């Protein structure tokens, strides 16, 4: 009986604690009414969040962008050159550029002389060489059998001779002149290759040796075989005579044994006039 009384007393004392349990429970009870505003800490966290807040749907205003002065200065100092104006002429060095009379390869200031300017020819021995040489390929519209190296004075004399002497002498024979046959031009040597002799005009770029001409029908008028021929000889001797004037020295088979197969033409000048034999 006593034990039951004790148990009842303990239960009566514990009832107030059970009545207050919901208020002190660790599980929060939902609050009635509208949601409360965030705390100061929560608002600060939203303001400092790394994720940007989406902007309202407003069209951006275009702002004119001026070219910075620094950018223009950088372009001016750029190692890449600016494009030149179309009307700006490029300076040319007269010393480095060959002097030509036309775009077709004319040289020596004469349209009918074809070829090219070449570098200075140094002489192997004293007295040889050409300061301003040219390599001639055709004169007066007639090709040479080989390109001949000489100075412009000799090239002009050769051009004049072919135009005013060779063409008229040949006339319509064989259809006219098709080629001038050159067997010698510049060579650093003595006259007639004699040891100890004077330097030949060939060694100065002032001489050219002509063995004859080839006609358009393929026939050749050669000095070696044609000089004493009744028909060819007449033409060749007319050519020989016409060379006296444009050239200072003209030598043929009548001169000596060294010129039996060609006409020697050079531009050496003498006080007494041209020397022709």
User: 220-252, pLDDT tens digit by residue?
Assistant: 999 999 999 999 999 999 999 999 999 999 999
Rounded to 5 degrees, what angle do the CA atoms 202, 249, 142 make? 75
pLDDT, position 271: 80
* 129 membership: H or E segment, kind and range: strand 129-130
Q: 68 vs 77, 82, 178, 220, CA distance in Å?
A: 15, 19, 72, 80
Instruction: Write down the pLDDT at residue 46.
Output: 37
Confidence of residue 257 (pLDDT cuts 50, 70, 90): very high
How far apart (Å, rounded) are the C-alpha atoms in residues 161 and 270? 19
Is 199 within 8 Å of 192 (Cβ atoms)?
A: no
Q: What residue ranges do the domains of the chain occupy?
A: 106-276
* CA dist., res. 135 & res. 147, Å (int): 6
Instruction: Provide the residue count of the chain.
Output: 277
Question: pLDDT tens digits, residue range 79-98?
Answer: 554 554 444 333 333 222 33
Which residues, other chains included, contact 220 with Cβ-Cβ below 8 Å and sequence gap of 6+?
Answer: 181, 212, 213, 214
């Amino acid at each position: 009986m006593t034990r039951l009384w004790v148990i009842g007393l303990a239960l009566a004392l514990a009832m107030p604690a059970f009545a207050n349990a919901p208020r002190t429970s660790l599980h929060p009870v939902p609050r009635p009414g509208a949601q409360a505003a965030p705390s100061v800490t929560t608002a600060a966290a939203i303001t400092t969040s790394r994720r940007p807040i989406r902007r309202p749907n407003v069209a951006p205003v275009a702002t004119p962008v001026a070219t910075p002065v620094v950018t223009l200065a950088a372009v001016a100092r750029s190692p890449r050159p600016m494009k030149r104006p179309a009307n700006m002429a490029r300076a040319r060095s007269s010393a480095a550029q060959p002097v030509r009379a036309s775009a077709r390869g004319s040289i020596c200031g004469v349209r009918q002389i074809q070829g090219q300017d070449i570098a200075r020819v140094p002489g192997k021995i004293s007295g040889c060489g050409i300061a301003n040489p040219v390599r001639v390929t055709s004169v007066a519209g007639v090709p040479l059998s080989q390109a001949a190296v000489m100075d412009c004075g000799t090239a002009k004399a050769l051009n004049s001779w072919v135009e005013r002497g060779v063409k008229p002498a040949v006339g319509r024979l064989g259809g006219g002149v098709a080629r001038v046959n050159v067997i010698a031009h510049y060579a650093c040597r003595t006259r007639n290759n004699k040891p100890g002799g004077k330097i030949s005009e060939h060694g100065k770029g002032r001489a050219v040796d002509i063995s004859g001409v080839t006609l358009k029908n393929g026939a050749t008028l050669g000095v070696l075989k044609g000089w004493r021929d009744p028909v060819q000889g007449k033409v060749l001797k007319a050519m020989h005579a016409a060379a006296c004037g444009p050239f200072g020295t003209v030598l043929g088979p009548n001169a000596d044994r060294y010129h039996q197969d060609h006409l020697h033409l050079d531009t050496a000048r003498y006080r007494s006039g041209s020397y022709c034999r």
